[in-house]
Structure 1
């Protein structure tokens, strides 16, 4: 099999640059072309000196990337991917969008949360939501993948086994999440400025974060009933990592043993979900630079509360690594190809 030729549009943002880093270790893919509006004509290694003599590709035009590639990753802000997806679709190229343009099934919700419209509804009908652990069979049928974001990966993976089995109430779920600052992107902002962020911890976009309808959409698809969650994200003074602590009301008669059996059955054969032993808690330290999602569960029998905690690297399983996992599915490769990095032990 010839190597898959990969193009990255938006290669100088954090997610785009992370795709380039991970592809270097992929035995069946090669980076064919990259683009960046801000750094066109510059080498990626000039923008990120760590990539010198590893990825010295020069940023070309978006059209060049499409022409030279079998699959195009779009690491762009919302509102900029639909036109590119149409171009890729016309040329029969695979398209994986790391932005939000194809994540929501409802155009009304997209209007409400992102202020945009579906410019080509037929493209949205072709798109598949790319959370492999839940929707891999559907991903195999498409060439347009909506790659989930970080919170929208961490929260469903923490909750789905309990919801699928009907062991927890679907209303009243609370997702209390903490994110590393790379989730805010590379563009400077006051809340990610070092003196503002360092030695602090704060909630942001409380009960108004754009990932809320996406999380609810995934949970609703799994159960067939409308899900409604309270989602509160926080900004951690670290570069990488998402820790999602989710709370739900246990149904009568459900025991921790029943829950552990459900999680073990659901994730036993998943290459990237590690269900932790009883008493162990997921920690962002243990998943850094990898595509793993660590999941731990607890039961507070005194209050009848179920607690599920997941940890992912927001730049890998929450962005670039999951995008490559989706590419592997589209091209018939093992999902783990090029993605079995070992997290640092210290």
Structure 2
């Protein structure tokens, strides 16, 4: 197999346009975002044409991945959208095995990356050397692109032919995204305050279980549960939050919610109900009795319901109040029908 660097050094630029060569003119129009010319020149025969003088790129490759100054009043996304609607192949590969998504990631066009992903591009596609789009974005330090890929299923653990992950090859700007530390404090604050839109914009599989840098080391789920942010808890669970993650005090999210927000409906030993107006969870809603308070809490936040906790016998003294263990001896978690 040819060396990646030598193949990638082959010009991906279309030769200068010529009045006598409509195909060259199309490539140039795609590169500069000239949607008027693109609409004039593209047809079923040219929409997937190859640049035989370069790396055999298609119009979509050129539209997705160049940093030339766009013609005033035009946008790269408009051209990509039109090409896709006209039949451009999102799976087309150039001589290096790069898809248009690789190009968009390499040049940092996050809006185009999202458009291609939503149109069905594979976030984990590989070139001839097993570089994924995430490798391309990480190497070039394209932070917004890395986030978009991770939010659409990008796998940070894939290794290229040399055995390197995106993190191992990443530029310093992109590295915090791949370690889960990028804007971590903003994410934690969004979970604490219930800022759902902000949370979703920042959330990805690598930071969903991040820990606060302060002494408590709370996760987003600890904070959301502790401050009774039920909708945020649901969002975090949907994005893979770990219900068993512990903070520095060895609390999980269920215990955090009980200690800070008893209004969730978990009564203490003294009988303080604090029940909200939300309906209790019925056993028929989950199909089986949860074995631990963790599981019951998870059901409750997922269904926006309260939990009825019944004790089959007197609890030991150490379980009173905020010292209640996750699944104390003698406690049966009972869900009302």
TM-score of the superposed pair, with normalisation by structure 2: 0.28
Which structure dedicates a bigger proportion of its chain to helix? 2
Which structure shows the higher strand fraction?
Answer: 1
**Alignment TM-score, normalising by the size of structure 1:** 0.28
Relative contact order (alpha carbons < 8 A, sep ≥ 6): 1 or 2 greater?
1
